[in-house]
Amino acid sequence: MKVEFKKSITFKVLKRIDTLSGDIVLRSDVANIAAPRQISRALDRLVEKKYLARLGYGVYAKLAHSKVAQTTYLKEGVLPTMRAALNRLNVRWEPSPEERDYQAGRTTQIPVNPTTKLKDRFRRQLRYRGMELTRG
């Protein structure tokens, strides 16, 4: 991504995000770079330029770019990305019984809308392009 100034807050935030290993970026990952309002503006710019997608309050995901379709997408897909966000937020979860049965080979019926069973209290909403994390 081209930025206007190499010493800008947006550039510093972008460099920090590039060093992160996973696709999930939490606001706390970049909180010590500048003041909170400056971090908010930098993250909003990165979302606007389609480098990041905002999944929920303080939770962002890195986007991949498709040259063929001229669009952006989540590398791993929506459900694995949402579950990775839960892992980063230290929220315990498990797949639904239907999904576990399919993965164990006890059934051949593929769960269409797999739910995620949360074991901890989690009141935030995680969504991407109208698709929301379904809790079971």
46 pLDDT exceeds 80? yes
- Mean per-residue pLDDT for 59-73? 93
For residues 53 and 36, what is the distance between their CA atoms, to the nearest angstrom? 19
2 pLDDT exceeds 70? no
pLDDT at 1: 59
Per the CB < 8 A criterion, the answer to whether 136 and 96 are in contact is yes
pLDDT at 3: 57
Sequence-separated (6 or more) residues with CB below 8 Å from residue 62: 17, 23, 24, 25, 51, 52, 75
59 pLDDT exceeds 60? yes
Indicate left, alpha or beta for 72 from its phi (over 0: left) and psi (-120 to 50: alpha): beta
pLDDT at 72: 93
Per the CB < 8 A criterion, the answer to whether 111 and 102 are in contact is yes
- Mean per-residue pLDDT for 25-31? 94
Determine how many CB atoms are found less than 10 A away from the CB of residue 30: 21
Q: Is 23 helix (H, G, I), strand (E, B) or coil?
A: coil
pLDDT at 4: 62
CA distances from 126 to 35, 52, 53, 83, 107 (A): 25, 14, 11, 10, 29
104 pLDDT exceeds 60? yes
Average pLDDT, the chain: 89
- Extract the runs of DSSP E, i.e. beta strands, from 47-106: 52-56, 59-62, 64-66, 71-73, 93-95
5 pLDDT exceeds 80? no
